[in-house]
Amino acid sequence: MPSLSPTMSEGQIVQWSKKEGDEVQAGDVICEIQTDKAVVALESDEDGVLAKIFQPEGSGTIKVGKLIAILAEDGEDWKEVANNTVDTSSDSLLTSDSKPELDNAQTSGGSTKGTTINMPALSPTMTEGTIISWNKKEGEKIEAGDVICEIQTDKAVVAMEADDDAILAKILIPENEGGVQIGTMICITVEEGEDWKDVQIPSVGTTDTPTANTNKPPSTEAIVSKVATQVIHVEPIPGVGPASNLRIAQYGINPGSVTSTGPKGIVKEDIMRHINEKNLHPLELKDTKPASLSLEVDTHKETPIVAKNKSKGGDRVNTANYTDIPLTTMRSVIAKRLVQSKQGSPHGYATAECNIDAISKIRKDFFLSGIKISLNDLVIKAASTALQYVPEVNLNVVRNSDGDDFQIMPNVDISVAVATNEGLITPIVKDVPSLTLPGISSTVKDLALRARNGQLKLDEFQGGTFTISNLGMFGINEFTAIINPPQCAILAVGTGTEQVVPHMNGKATQTMMKCTLSFDRRFIDEHMASDFMSTLQRVIEHPEYMNIGAVPIIRRSRAVAQL
């Protein structure tokens, strides 16, 4: 059961959109969950087969973190996965059920029972986060609404506020420790008046090892468990799934000796049958790793990795070194969403060339009055006007059990692409038609500044009905952009270039700008896209169609006039 809102602690499964044995693709809705806010669709992150449903529809309240279903990998026998998971499902349920309670079996230290605070889900796509800073120290009083800490999500830095009055007793996750999964305990609070120094400290994840059999060799299960919990690098074999690759490395199996029965090659069932037939045991990791071992424990993160080649004379270090820099959480989510957009939304493209001399003159008029307006502000205003004339492009995709559908959005909320050090983010200028040009300009500047500082609120970058990506300021003449789901269109804006045109008095120039619309061909056809682009072209070339507000050119700025 995922945490689908910052305040969600439990949920109810309203409907399963997939049945046991159904194929599931990344992005498919698996089930609909009633949270404390609304009914939210739970989407799959990976391809596979729904092997087992543990919590049927109407099964009542389910705690966050409790096991609700098992997804088998593509190529695996889902029935076998379901049967093998039944006996061990209670172990998974025990961990999630016992998380909120700090009983004697899980605690150490003092006698004061505290309340745990877990890593919340601060965005729909967030799976892990990083605590940037703790705004409260251990022993400090917390009032409802106070910011406890600031968390880096996959989108921005979000402040986590307290729901109740309390005392911060213990911080479990330090600042800048990356990869903290949703639901992980990050701190403990106690009630006012209680001894916060004597709070019980959770010891989740630790196990007591018996001392009587310290010399007994570890069992097969213990070795598999030890290997599975370590971060290992496995040399991938083409056409073999990750689970099969892992077991091939763990058991030192030669893939050529395995009889494959899967539609695409070796599957996990083939590996398990080969292990049973040959009575194989996992290879035990030692300090000095044998040369035949094809997996390597990763004990250092984000360190330069030196490629080595083995020769008769020993290890020879290559002169070409490289540094393995992992993707940030934000860039990983961006990459995943872009792949889903390209695979799930067939992109169509339409390009129009616009004469921007008229809007450039308006921009100059504002400047003469002491107001700086960018060309992008005028494009945002023109696009919002075109969307009012052609509302069939102002769409959002709605996913349901019968497939994707669309709805025309009543408001024109335009997302503007802003590049940050962490990745690209699209803050939203809301209700653009109601804003004047100075209003759009100040809004965009404020959103861009807070986006680069990681200070956007959730509702300031989630949603939107249309996106504009402008690379004209970097000298890019023309490009295509990828649609930003659940939107159905995005406009890629290039730079303005001067062109010589015939003139009755000789030669003249005009500034032309290319705009390319990427649209979801499922819901917007070429005819509708051409209507929008031709309308946008006319609005840009005739800005009197736009409600740009009063142009204060009548009363010029004295400061500008003296320049």
Structure tokens at 416: 């503007």
537: nearest Cα among 392, 384, 382, 350 = 382
What pLDDT score does 207 carry? 37
What pLDDT score does 553 carry? 53
Structure tokens at 408: 């025309």
Distances (CA, A) of 276 to 273, 279, 526, 560: 5, 5, 58, 85
What pLDDT score does 468 carry? 96
Q: What does DSSP say about strands 200-202 and 107-109: parallel, antiparallel, or unpaired? A: antiparallel
- Judged by phi (left if over 0) then psi (alpha if -120 to 50, else beta), residue 279 lies in left
What pLDDT score does 535 carry? 95
What pLDDT score does 443 carry? 95
What pLDDT score does 39 carry? 75
Which has the higher per-residue pLDDT, 2 or 406? 406
Split at pLDDT 50, 70, 90, the class of 211 is very low
Provide, rounded to the nearest whole percent, the portion of the chain with pLDDT above 90. 27
- Sign (positive or negative) of CA dihedral 251, 255, 259, 265: positive
pLDDT in tens, 480-515: 999 998 899 999 999 999 988 776 566 688 999 999
Q: How far apart are CA 422 and CA 86, in angstroms?
A: 42
Residue 544, pLDDT > 80, answer yes
Mean pLDDT, residues 531-543 taken together: 95
CATH code of 108-200, in short, is 2.40.50.100
What pLDDT score does 202 carry? 73
Q: What average pLDDT does the structure give for the chain? A: 78
Q: How far apart are CA 427 and CA 225, in angstroms?
A: 44
Residue 395, pLDDT > 80, answer yes
54: nearest Cα among 102, 93, 80, 27 = 93
Split at pLDDT 50, 70, 90, the class of 223 is very low
Residue 557, pLDDT > 70, answer no
Angle at 96 between CA 92 and CA 99, to 5 degrees: 140
pLDDT in tens, 257-286: 888 887 767 887 888 888 888 888 887 655
What pLDDT score does 33 carry? 87
Residue 560, pLDDT > 50, answer yes
Residue 410, pLDDT > 90, answer yes
Q: Where are the domains of the chain?
A: 10-97, 108-200, 221-296, 330-560
Split at pLDDT 50, 70, 90, the class of 360 is very high
3-class SS of residue 170: strand
Q: How far apart are CA 415 and CA 509, in angstroms?
A: 33
What pLDDT score does 505 carry? 64
What pLDDT score does 439 carry? 92
Mean pLDDT, residues 430-438 taken together: 92
Q: How far apart are CA 536 and CA 353, in angstroms?
A: 10
489: nearest Cα among 501, 480, 499, 478 = 480
Domains 10-97 and 108-200 share a fold: yes
Range 10-97 has CATH code 2.60.40.10:
no
Q: How far apart are CA 444 and CA 427, in angstroms?
A: 8
548: nearest Cα among 359, 276, 403, 274 = 359
Q: How far apart are CA 558 and CA 382, in angstroms?
A: 30
- Sign (positive or negative) of CA dihedral 307, 311, 316, 319: negative
Residue 166, pLDDT > 80, answer yes
Mean pLDDT, residues 360-372 taken together: 88
Residue 241, pLDDT > 50, answer yes
Residue 221, pLDDT > 50, answer no
pTM above 0.95, yes or no: no
Split at pLDDT 50, 70, 90, the class of 342 is very high
Q: How far apart are CA 78 and CA 49, in angstroms?
A: 7
Split at pLDDT 50, 70, 90, the class of 375 is very high
445 near 376, Cβ under 8 Å?
no
Architecture of the structural domain at 330-560: 2-Layer Sandwich (3.30)
pLDDT in tens, 474-483: 999 999 999 9
pLDDT in tens, 12-41: 888 999 998 888 887 788 888 887 666 778
What pLDDT score does 494 carry? 96
